[in-house]
Amino acid sequence: MSQRLKVILTSDFAVAFIVAIIWQLLLTTTAILLTPDTSGTLSHMMRWDGNWYQLIINDRYASNAASPAFFPLFPFTVGFLHELTFQAISHQALALLLNTISLGFGLAALLVITRHFVTTKLRYLSLLFFLAAPAAFFMSIFYSEALFVAIAFWAYAFALQKRWLLVGILLAFLTAARLPALLFIGLCGLEYLRSYNWSIKKSFNKNLAYFLLAPLGFISYGLYLLQLRGNFLGMFAAYKATTDWAYQQFNPDILITIGRAAYQTARAIAGKREFDNDMLINHAIPLFCLALLLVSSLYLLIKVRGKGTPLGIFGLVSIVFFTINNNLVSVHRYTLPCITIYIALVLAMKHYKRLNVLFLSLAAIMAAIQIVLFLTLHTTTQFVG
């Protein structure tokens, strides 16, 4: 092997894409074997939100008033690729291709970000922690997670490099993908302020104007809904168009929401109520992810001052954002893009080497939870997030 080829194959980009391809092949092959082939080889990809995205591809928000709750970037991209390939390739196959490419870019961005904090080979552990996350397998099915991660991670990576125009452009795409894009606008904004030593006066310059690009994705979506359904904010009105999401209610007292879930989990552990799928998926696992995010955020704020501050604040604000709707449903999926967790764990392994077995054990626990959710998704009809 030539030296040049060796350098290419061992670059962070190559490592990221090799890992992404192997990971997707492993999960997809396993899912195919677990799921009886009823309508196609990749029929296992169509679960829960995946069916909403398929509906959006088919009718572009025209037939169901609840569908605007799901933002357009992922389904429109898959639909565009379908037309680009003259409809010769199925939506599922194109989504898998899109997810694999997105995951590769996402992992590459994660390595770039981690290198900003850790220059040793420990940075590769960020990939381990990320792919071990309980909800990581959602990046292998007909969901928007992989695409969101790729764009969000690179937006923050470019923010660390002070490439503000690229940050603004990526944030514009991100706001057309999912509402949690708001969190990454905040994260990149905090990094922008940190780059000017938290000086409001210094930060008011031409680079700040690039952040005005960020809401363009959301605005474009709103204008589309205004033209189609007569409601610029149809993505929010969609929650009232069905009783399926009646549990989504604004409640700023997040301590009550988290405490209620903790109380019910404790009762289930004590044997006072059944530890069923609802308890596991909508209470216990989200609580575990919130606890991990909280500890990671505090660690970065207290132990890694300076460049760790934006990620620490991002993590704490994310906890509020994820729980302000009076429930913890799907919180484990929402925490997947929270870079705070993966950076904090890598830094903790660097700073507390004697506890490395503990941190690796935590990764094993995260992976075990993911396996349980993955098997539940592909062998039953039960909801997993």
Mean pLDDT calculated for residue range 339-345: 98
Q: Is the pLDDT confidence value at 9 over 80?
A: no
Sign of CA dihedral 280, 281, 286, 289: positive
Residue ranges of the domains in the chain?
3-379
Residue 263: per-residue pLDDT: 95
Q: Is the pLDDT confidence value at 153 over 80?
A: yes
Report helix angle 181-195 to 164-174, nearest 10.
170
Name the band, by pLDDT with cuts 50, 70 and 90, for residue 3: low
Q: Is the pLDDT confidence value at 26 over 70?
A: yes
Residue 260: per-residue pLDDT: 95
Kindly state the percentage of the chain with pLDDT values over 90. 87
Measured distance CA(150)–CA(146) in Å, rounded: 6
Q: Which residues contact 199 (CB under 8 A, 6 or more apart)?
A: 193
Sign of CA dihedral 166, 168, 171, 173: negative
Least confident of 32-36, 75-79, 258-262, 274-278: 32-36
Average pLDDT of the residues of the chain? 94
Helix H, strand E, coil C: the string for 338-361 is CHHHHHHHHHHHHHCHHHHHHHHH
For 205-244, how does the pLDDT look when each residue is reduced to its tens digit (9 = 90+)?
Answer: 999 999 999 999 999 999 999 999 999 999 999 999 988 8
Name the band, by pLDDT with cuts 50, 70 and 90, for residue 119: confident
Q: Which amino acid is at 140?
A: S
